[in-house]
Amino acid sequence: MLKNRKTDTKPDLSFFEIVYEVAKLIPYGRVTSYGAIANYLSTGLSARMVGWAMNKCHTDSKIPAHRVVNRNGMLTGKHHFGGSNVMQQLLESEGIKVKNDTVVDFKKLFWDPNIELGIRK
């Protein structure tokens, strides 16, 4: 478990692997954004790289890539899930409502790793 983004990450992990470790911490029924993960990793300008990481892991059931959306709650990575509705179906199976490819109550369901993991900037 990542407790401190600077000391608990292993230096031999790639950026993608570190992103996956954070994604695994997103609770069932919650969502976060690419930018929130990037900010947590102190790489605020790397939200796009977090997106690339999520696009590469969507078939790994141990990584809940479907819980990572854009900063507005939109399912921008949905086309990487093997079907136009798979990402939405995964979210809805966790009780998350989606309308027009956007998470309903996004602010309420938003999981910020900086706050939730007890690390604030």
Question: What confidence tens digit (pLDDT) does each residue in 6-51 have?
Answer: 445 555 688 999 999 999 999 999 999 999 999 999 876 799 999 9
Please tell me the pTM assigned to this model: 0.86
50, amino acid identity? V
Question: What confidence tens digit (pLDDT) does each residue in 41-91 have?
Answer: 987 679 999 999 998 887 778 999 999 999 999 999 888 888 789 999 999
Residue 20 neighbours by CB under 8 Å, 6+ apart: 53, 57, 60, 63
Q: What is the DSSP string of 81-97?
A: TTSTTHHHHHHHHTT--
58 vs 81: CA distance, rounded Å: 6
